[in-house]
Amino acid sequence: MPSRGVTIPALSSAGFSLRMPVPEILLLNDGTVWQDPGGPFGLVPRTLWEGELPPEAHGATPMTLHALLVRSQGTTVLVETGLGTKLDQAALAAWGLERPEGTLLDQLARQGVSPEDIDVVINTHLHADHCGGNTRIENGQVVPTFARAKYLVQRLEWASAAQPDERTRNTYLPANFQPLIQSGQMRLVHGDTQVTTGLRTVVTRGHTRGHQSVLVEGPRPILFTGDMASLAVHFERLNWLTAFDAEPLETLASKQRWQAWVEDNQAIIICAHDHYRPVGSLTRSGKRLELVPIPLPQSP
């Protein structure tokens, strides 16, 4: 596939073999949190970002905790696990978490998927809103939520999480990943990694040093951005960066490469936190790109 910015070679295995020739995709979520707009919009002036939100969201921006279920021929992969169920009341209030559709586990159950059915969990990174559901409390102990699964995260991301600084200490929470190291379920990968026949992770550094996005291959590829582009507008406008990005210029470079790739390959985008336009395709009007909402064609 031609690309102006990104080439995707045959990638090395993460260390285990799974087969998924025709992935089936389903978008789920672990609820919606409400954030001060200064977080998702960073240095973008209010006069610009308020035009992207309904008026009722100007005081606090809704950010949905999207997850992706990928299934094929008996293999089940879960991308992201949300905030999970370990939060106390103070933490729930601080996040402003709402779950009108129940937890991620509730939604999986409605699809007939139990925690024991998950073969692989992919975390784009180890911030708490993306991996909090990796573990849960059982009989007073923190244990892996998905007892049979291998959990994939970039080695560099693990290094950042294991030695947080003052800026990241409150979002890299050991309870979300340390039990997986102890159980032997955490697989630390290095670089772009082929996970299954139709699924791979690609490094998209910037939001964190070890951030990765997820590419689902098929007749029309699907890119789950993670926090490379938390909201649709972040993917449309390269210079719109969040206040949460550890390396803003790296985020800019990652978006530049993948925006070009998505346009060249007519790929579908899934933005990790967009409440209004989570799934879409890029259309160009002159120099401006717009992410137009579309349904997932492979969803049940």
Please say if the pLDDT value at position 15 is more than 60: no
CATH annotation of 24-293: 3.60.15.10
Per-domain residue ranges of the chain: 24-293
pLDDT digits 0-9 by tens, 220-246: 999 999 999 999 999 999 999 999 999
Token pair of 110, please?
């409605």
Tell me the average pLDDT of the chain: 90
- Whole-prediction pTM: 0.91
Give CA–CA dist 114/69, Å, rounded: 12
CA angle centred on 235, ends 232 and 240, rounded to 5°: 100
Token pair of 157, please?
């991301």
Residue tagged 């975390």 (tokens): 123
| Closest to 86 measured CA to CA, from 131, 136, 126 | 136
Under 8 Å between Cβ of 67 and 30: yes
Kindly state the DSSP code that residue 141 receives in the 8-state scheme: E
Give CA–CA dist 42/52, Å, rounded: 14
Q: For the stretch 89-120, what's the b/e string if a residue is b when 16 or more beta carbons lie within 10 angstroms of its beta carbon?
A: eeeeeebebebeeebbbebbeeeebebebbbb
pLDDT score recorded for residue 73: 64
Percent of the chain surpassing pLDDT 90: 84
pLDDT digits 0-9 by tens, 97-140: 999 999 999 999 999 999 999 999 999 999 999 999 999 999 99
Beta bridge partners of 22: none
Q: Are strands 75-79 and 61-72 parallel, antiparallel or unpaired?
A: antiparallel
pLDDT digits 0-9 by tens, 260-300: 999 999 999 999 999 999 999 999 988 889 999 998 865 44
Please say if the pLDDT value at position 9 is more than 80: no
pLDDT band at 4 (very low <50, low <70, confident <90, very high): very low
pLDDT digits 0-9 by tens, 179-196: 999 999 999 999 999 999
